[in-house]
Amino acid sequence: MNILEAIKSRKSIRQFTGEHVKEEELKSILELASRAPSSVNGQQISLVYTRDKDIIEQMSVLCGGQKQVKDCDVFITIVGDFYRASSYLKNNIEFTDEIHRLREVAATDAGIMAYLINLAAMGYGYGSTIIGGIKQSPVEVAKLLNLPENTFPMLGITIGEPTKESLLGTPKPRIDFEAFAMENVYNKEVQQNAVENYEVKLDSWFKSIGVSQPLFGDVIKRFYSK
């Protein structure tokens, strides 16, 4: 698939056929993921991937009981990995205790990595979804995957063979373009209407695919209110 077309048609896939991801294609996806840019080229992201159905089922529970996790063929945990650097430095210099800074770096790099894996999986015809729910139970995820000190589970990503039904329909709409991309200076005036307009578009889109979801404005209120 052409990379521009992949970006334009990208959508989260939550239904899988149960067919296996080919081993050589999975390896290629993981190798492509290693090409992701990282802060100071520190390469402070590692991947823990599994096909083990018992581990995947446990991960689905830790991610909030997500069926899309349980049903995927491969689950990848994107790990902010400072253990590698700390083990290298331990005989030479005291490792930083600024955990907040490390998490910020890991969050940035993990987001880049997740999107690259998403597109690479699409290139081979697979579906995937980026799973933020992995952060609901970081201690339990770390224990399940035997993560050492100075590592943080940041995101998960599912990979599997998509069902035909999951590929139907248009990608989820986005916020008005003029509120997203602003030339020269930030345009405050367009922002409130942009949310209201988007709420209408998104609600219509959900109804078109037979999915009942709360209104976008209600989600924003719940997520950002004190």
Condensed to tens digits (0 to 9), the pLDDT of residues 28-51 reads 999 999 999 999 998 999 999 999
Please check whether residue 47 is in contact with residue 124, taking contact to mean a CB–CB distance below 8 angstroms: no
Q: How many helices (H) and strands (E) does the chain have?
A: 11, 4
CA-nearest of 180, 223, 222 to 198 is 180
pLDDT tens profile 109-145: 999 999 999 999 999 999 999 999 999 999 999 999 9
- Burial (CB count within 10 angstroms: exposed 0-12, middle 13-18, buried 19+), residue 218: exposed
CA 45 distance to own-chain centroid: 14
CA-nearest of 138, 141, 208 to 172 is 208
Instruction: Using the predicted structure, report yes or no on whether residue 1 has a pLDDT greater than 70.
Output: no
- Pairing between β-strand 74-81 and β-strand 45-50 as defined by DSSP bridges: antiparallel
Residue 147, classed as helix, strand or coil, is coil
- Burial (CB count within 10 angstroms: exposed 0-12, middle 13-18, buried 19+), residue 50: middle
pTM score: 0.90
For the chain, state the CA radius of gyration: 19
pLDDT tens profile 153-187: 999 999 999 999 888 888 899 999 999 999 999 99
pLDDT value of residue 208: 86
Instruction: Using the predicted structure, report yes or no on whether residue 78 has a pLDDT greater than 80.
Output: yes
Please check whether residue 174 is in contact with residue 180, taking contact to mean a CB–CB distance below 8 angstroms: yes
Please check whether residue 102 is in contact with residue 82, taking contact to mean a CB–CB distance below 8 angstroms: yes
Secondary structure element (H or E) that encloses residue 106, with its range: helix 99-123
